[in-house]
């Protein structure tokens, strides 16, 4: 595989999975990252440093993407508990558009972006790529805006474009504030796990599978919106009880200790097209 691939967000929860999968497949990799310090890059990875990739100009991106065949844009502000409403989503949107302009100038032939299931009208519950978009947060709105702009921008310039919408993920490298990681930490320490009712139905996918799918789409040719999901829904209670059974500690689960967020949709499940 002698074509160069450009990655952003390669040190993130999903990105590091993609990075190592592509490296194992012999890809020539170039990554844009804040700093190479404190992270072990796979041998041969070319690192382009940027203190803030979302503040870089289109001309900067054109230089960074010179000689690149395909780009996978995974970077975005994703601080748990803050990212949904953060004004930094606007910075990410602006920076994404600059990256797209630079990639076109550099002659990049394929661009894959990463979106979110929250772009959809989640009240519908079971979500396909034909489901209407109705984002309900600045984060989801910025992702949807990026999708609409990039779809038209790349089509006009004959650049292959795919937009991969991630659903709920868990697994290696998960932030301790996320559900599955939080539950495992508490159970491992023998501490009570405070939860909502657990009636919410969600589509959870192992981050390793999500990373593998993103890598395949970067190397592939499918265009348009793509759901990256398991296609199966389970209640939060069912998910958590399954984890507790690994430890033999269902007695530590405290369903109802936290109040349900009644603005959350009762069902969010992806349909794989």
Tokens representing 129?
């790529």
Distance CA 45, CA 30 (A): 6
Indicate if the pLDDT at residue 227 is higher than 90: yes
pTM of the model: 0.95
Tell me: the pLDDT tens digits for 86-142? 999 999 999 999 999 999 999 999 999 999 999 999 999 999 999 999 999 999 999
Q: At what angle do helices 207-219 and 15-24 cross, to 10 degrees?
A: 60
Indicate if the pLDDT at residue 35 is higher than 90: no
Element (H, E) at 193: strand 193-195
Range 20-45 average pLDDT: 91
Range 22-47 average pLDDT: 91
Look up residue 17 and give its DSSP letter.
H
Q: What is the pLDDT of residue 37?
A: 64
Residue 90 contacts residue 138 (beta carbons within 8 Å):
yes
Residue 236 contacts residue 200 (beta carbons within 8 Å):
yes
Indicate if the pLDDT at residue 52 is higher than 70: yes
Burial status of residue 255 (CB atoms within 10 A of its CB: 0-12, 13-18, 19 or more):
middle
Task: Give the CA distances from residue 96 to residues 21, 58, 73, 106, 187, in Å, rounded to whole numbers and listed in that order.
Answer: 24, 10, 8, 15, 40
Q: How many helices (H) and strands (E) does the chain have?
A: 7, 15
Tokens representing 79?
């601080």
Residue 133 pairs with which residues in a beta bridge?
Answer: 120
Rounded to the nearest 10°, the torsion over CA 31, 17, 206, 186 is: -100
């Amino acid at each position: 595989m002698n074509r160069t691939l450009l990655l952003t967000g390669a040190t993130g929860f999903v990105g590091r999975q993609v990075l190592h999968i592509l490296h194992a497949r012999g890809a020539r990799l170039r990554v844009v990252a804040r700093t190479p310090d404190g992270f072990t890059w796979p041998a041969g990875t070319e690192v382009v440093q940027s203190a803030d990739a979302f503040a870089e100009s289109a001309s900067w991106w054109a230089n960074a993407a010179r000689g690149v065949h395909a780009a996978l844009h995974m970077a975005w502000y994703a601080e748990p508990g803050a990212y949904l409403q953060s004004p930094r989503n606007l910075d990410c949107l602006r920076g994404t558009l600059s990256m797209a302009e630079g990639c076109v100038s550099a002659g990049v032939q394929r661009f894959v972006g990463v979106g979110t299931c929250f772009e959809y009208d989640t009240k519908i519950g079971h979500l396909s790529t034909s489901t209407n978009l109705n984002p309900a947060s600045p984060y989801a709105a910025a992702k949807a805006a990026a999708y609409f702009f990039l779809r038209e921008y790349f089509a006009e310039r004959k650049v292959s474009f795919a937009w991969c919408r991630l659903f709920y993920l868990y697994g290696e490298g998960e932030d301790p504030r996320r559900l599955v990681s939080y539950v495992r930490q508490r159970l491992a320490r023998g501490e009570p796990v405070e939860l909502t009712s657990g009636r919410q139905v969600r589509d959870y996918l192992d981050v390793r599978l999500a990373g593998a799918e993103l890598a395949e789409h970067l190397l592939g040719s499918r265009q348009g919106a793509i759901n990256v999901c398991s296609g199966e829904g389970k209640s939060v209670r069912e998910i958590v009880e399954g984890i507790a059974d690994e430890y033999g500690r269902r007695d530590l689960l405290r369903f109802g200790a936290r109040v349900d967020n009644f603005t959350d949709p009762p069902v969010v499940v992806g349909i794989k097209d």
